[in-house]
Amino acid sequence: MIEAPSVSYAGLSPVLLVLGAALVGVLVEAFVPRAYRWGTQLAVALGGTLGALVAVALVAGKQELTLARAVAIDGPALFLEGTLALLGVLAILLLAERSPDMGGSAFVAQAAVPVGTALDRQLSTQTRSQTEVFPLATFALGGMMLFAASNNLLVMFVALEVLSLPLYLLAGLSRRRRLLSQEAALKYFLLGAFTSAFFLYGLALIYGFAGTVDLRGIFDQAAGTDKSDALFVIGLAMLIVGLLFKAGVAPFHTWTPDVYQGAPTSVTAFMAACTKVAAFGAILRVLYVGFGNSDWTWRPVLYGVAIVTLIVGSVLALTQTDVKRMLAYSSIAHAGFILTGTIANSAAGLSSTMFYLLTYGLTTIGSFAVVMLVRDAEGEAGHLSQWAGLAKRSPLVAGVFSLFLLALAGIPLTSGFTGKFVVFRAALDAGAGPLVVIALLASAVAAFFYIRVIVLMYFSEPAADGPTVAVPGMLTTVSLAIAAAATVLLGVAPGAVLDLANQAAQFVG
């Protein structure tokens, strides 16, 4: 008789709550009348993500493997699940109060329509008609949580598909720029399917080598393996390709600018912040737990990939004239910084990378939330020239955006500086000094295109027919306030969160 695997429902509760909210959201779409659907979906999605955040706090400190060792409940899994739940809450607030790109507007341009008019109420009603974004986002978020906690390559592949398929759909939901959005979704789907095949084939080769898809079993089997074992080396290479694609790492980055630009901006915020956290969570678990004793295979490769990623992201961002594409190449550069910490293959590398993912996610959510507010007659004002003199039109919005840009640049007293400092220190301790030097040079280059936008906003005259700055609704205001406060707090007083990351930097056996 086959014994049923034990299940730790308490340890799995963060993932179960989010996926449960997604399933309830599907039922809401089917049975709740349209007039009540928006509020119900928002309550269900926020309830699931906030519940997951509370559940992470309640089960903190657990160290166990459940579901026949397929899912890990340990410090890194819970830290990243908490990060994803927090970012998910902020992203859902933006999705609930989204721009006209998704079929309506809960925002009102300062110079166009007074708040509270009949037109404002009509637009707010229109924006609430596209309620399927809530279950799609929560399904993707649940898949991301499972992706970062998977201790089994087969379960990791299932989680990869659960997080990817809703994102393909969300990327194509823009109504104002329908063709651009659908093109972005198609590119994302085709390249995503291609790299999923890489991951699955690599999984098959690793199974042929080790006879198991359990990460600890692979670790034990890999002990003493040399460079002549083709199954092992090629299988690991294919696994890494599949994972690096999801992380938006060069040279597997080509989908990133097009998808970020074409998707609705609220979806881009969700995708840019949360997918990066989930992808690097899976990379850390696969490399540290499954292949930590054979880092001679992957450290040189990631060393080179990190250099290419830093150069591609920083240099190509200089040439961009669209704000969303600039932030897309910025995300590629940040993937290089995150790889700098990952290469350390140590507890310091693990904790610093997790902290960086938290700071990057909060700053990215805030940056794209600001982009949603700057609008012209055709929708969002994407071209950089349209941001000229923005500080004279809306000093508060320009100030908040400047804070996020300075954090992305790594300026002291922001969360970005603390994040870069800890990953660089971990890399130096691991003997990756030359990589840190290249990362510092890339930071200097990146600072130029961030500060260029700040100079444009503060030291240029606004055009007479320039864009207006929309008045954010309550949900967007809450999301922006949390992101801005965290960006400052994690730069000025990061000690508590750094200690938490250090305590969490231990994978279960």
For residue 129, the model assigns a pLDDT of 57
To the nearest whole number, what is the mean pLDDT of the chain? 87
Confidence of residue 135 (pLDDT cuts 50, 70, 90): very high
Q: What is the SS3 string spanning 17-83?
A: HHHHHHHHHHHHHHHCCHHHHHHHHHHHHHHHHHHHHHHHHHHCCCCEEECCCCEEECHHHHHHHHH
For residue 174, the model assigns a pLDDT of 79
- Cβ neighbours around 436 below 10 Å, total: 18
Mean pLDDT of 20-44: 92
- Quote the tokens at residue 76: 């890194």
Half-sphere exposure of 168 (CA within 13 A, CB side): 14
Confidence of residue 228 (pLDDT cuts 50, 70, 90): low
β-bridge partners, 383: 322
**Largest CA-CA distance found in the chain, in angstroms, rounded:** 78
Kindly state the helix (H) or strand (E) to which residue 215 belongs, with its residue range. Answer: helix 215-222
pLDDT over 70 (residue 113):
no
Q: What is the pLDDT of residues 156-174, one digit of tens each?
A: 999 999 999 999 999 888 7
Among 42-46, 69-73, 230-234, which stretch is predicted with the lowest mean pLDDT? 230-234
For residue 254, the model assigns a pLDDT of 84
pLDDT over 50 (residue 292):
yes
For residue 102, the model assigns a pLDDT of 58
Segments in 319-414 forming alpha helices (H) = 323-342, 347-371, 390-393, 395-409
Q: Please, what's the b/e burial string for 144-173 (b: 16 or more CB within 10 A of its CB; e: otherwise)?
A: bbbbbbbbbbebbbebbebbbbbbbbbbbb
Alpha carbon of residue 305 to chain centroid = 19
Confidence of residue 3 (pLDDT cuts 50, 70, 90): low
Segments in 252-294 forming alpha helices (H) = 255-262, 265-270, 276-285
Beta-carbon contacts of residue 272 (< 8 Å; ≥ 6 apart):
260, 327, 328, 331, 364, 368
Closest by CA to 360, choosing from 381, 338, 340, 329, is 338
Residue 36: φ, ψ to 5°: -110, 0
Mean pLDDT of 496-506: 93
pTM here is 0.91
Confidence of residue 100 (pLDDT cuts 50, 70, 90): very low
Tell me how far apart the alpha carbons of residues 401 and 398 are, in angstroms, rounded to a whole number. Answer: 5
For residue 414, the model assigns a pLDDT of 93
pLDDT over 50 (residue 108):
no
Closest by CA to 90, choosing from 276, 335, 273, 323, is 273
Q: Where is pLDDT greater, at 228 or 442?
A: 442
Q: Are 464 and 71 in contact (CB under 8 A)?
A: no
Mean pLDDT of 126-155: 87
Q: What is the pLDDT of residues 345-369, one digit of tens each?
A: 889 999 999 999 999 999 999 999 9
Q: Are 423 and 340 in contact (CB under 8 A)?
A: yes
β-bridge partners, 214: 152
- Cβ neighbours around 459 below 10 Å, total: 10
- Quote the tokens at residue 227: 């460079």
For residue 110, the model assigns a pLDDT of 44
Residue 331: φ, ψ to 5°: -65, -35
